[in-house]
Amino acid sequence: ILLSLVRTKSVGHIRDVRRLIVAMSRARLGLYVFCRLALFENCYELTPAFNKLLERPTKLELKINEMWPSDRDVTDHSDPYTIADVTHI
């Protein structure tokens, strides 16, 4: 699931935590949330959900030249390419 919250200056409709829970519960292979973290981490209604999300890395890491489906072992974390910010993409 790719969840884009980048084109907003306010929390808006995602403040209803049920919307975020739907996105999180449908993510079977991965959940990538693109947002302005400072905006959403201060939202009281979303604190439990964002605390859970923040237990994971907040930077996008890619394996160069990897295609889907991959035969790489899930425990292999060697040499990830870390995306620093949106301009780096």
- Give tens-digit pLDDT for 12-22: 777 888 888 88
Whole-structure pTM value = 0.69
Beta strand 81-82 pairing with 61-62: antiparallel
The CA R_g of the chain, rounded to the nearest whole Å, is 15
Residue-range domain boundaries for the chain: 2-88
Q: Residue 82: beta bridge partners?
A: 61
Identify whether the C-beta of residue 3 lies closer than 8 Å to the C-beta of residue 34.
Answer: yes
| pLDDT on residue 42 | 83
